[in-house]
Amino acid sequence: MVARIIPLRQERPRPPGSDIERAFQTWAPYVAGVAIRLMGRDQDVEDVVQDVFVEAMRTLATLRDPAREKAWLASVAVRLVMRRLRRRRIARLLGLAETWDPSWLQAPEADPEQRALLRQVYRLLDDFPANERIAWSLRYLEGEKLEDVAALCGCSLATAKRRISAVQSVIEEALHG
């Protein structure tokens, strides 16, 4: 009897770049959502998403645990948004950029009350330094745990708490006061 060896599963060789394409299809909407919430504007979101995946090009292929893709892409998005917010704040201080305008955020899915709340919050956030604003947004808009906020911001837990608290007190006073 002649034994035939039949391969149980023959994997097709993956074309180059397939990891990044798959990751894009899977996570691009999520990254876009994070970017919109952190920036408080619809404009530039596509740029941020592209920047995230271009920067992710090298590292994504080396990630062994696919479950970490989401968290890792979020951390890249946070870093890039932080950079953009800092630049915008400096431009504002120099009189080269406008203050936050309600027309920047359409939020078609939100009801009128939610839209009013969001517009009020983003107008207030526009006056805070980027690192405080990002920490607060991650905690209250993204719903991240304090430990995750610290990790995403690249700071200690105490620093993350201090940044969140600095914004929270102003928001609370403005909304309740």
In the set 36, 81, 85, 124, which binds other proteins (CB under 8 A)?
36
- To other proteins, the closest distance from the beta carbon of 43 in angstroms equals 12
65 vs 109 by CB, closer to other proteins? 109
DSSP string spanning 86-155?
HHHHHHHHTT-SPPP-GGG---TTS-HHHHHHHHHHHHHHTTS-HHHHHHHHHHHTS---HHHHHHHHTS
In the set 25, 65, 93, 158, which binds other proteins (CB under 8 A)?
25
Site map for other proteins, 4-23, x if CB under 8 A? -------------x--xx--
Alpha-carbon torsion (155, 92, 83, 37), positive or negative:
positive
Closest CA to 49 of 17, 81, 22, 71: 81
45 vs 155 by CB, closer to other proteins? 45
- To other proteins, the closest distance from the beta carbon of 152 in angstroms equals 16
- Distance from C-alpha of 156 to C-alpha of 177, rounded to nearest angstrom: 31
28 vs 155 by CB, closer to other proteins? 28
Q: Identify whether the C-beta of residue 45 lies closer than 8 Å to the C-beta of residue 81.
A: no
Exposure on the CB side of residue 66, measured as CA atoms within 13 A: 6
- To other proteins, the closest distance from the beta carbon of 28 in angstroms equals 6
Closest CA to 132 of 171, 174, 74, 177: 171
DSSP string spanning 77-88?
HHHHHHHHHHHH
169 binds other proteins (CB under 8 A): no
10 vs 25 by CB, closer to other proteins? 25
Site map for other proteins, 107-126, x if CB under 8 A? xxxxx--xx-xx--x-----
Site of interaction with other proteins (CB under 8 A): 17, 20-21, 24-25, 28-29, 32-33, 36-37, 42, 45-46, 49-50, 53-54, 57, 105, 107-111, 114-115, 117-118, 121, 140-143, 171-172, 175-176
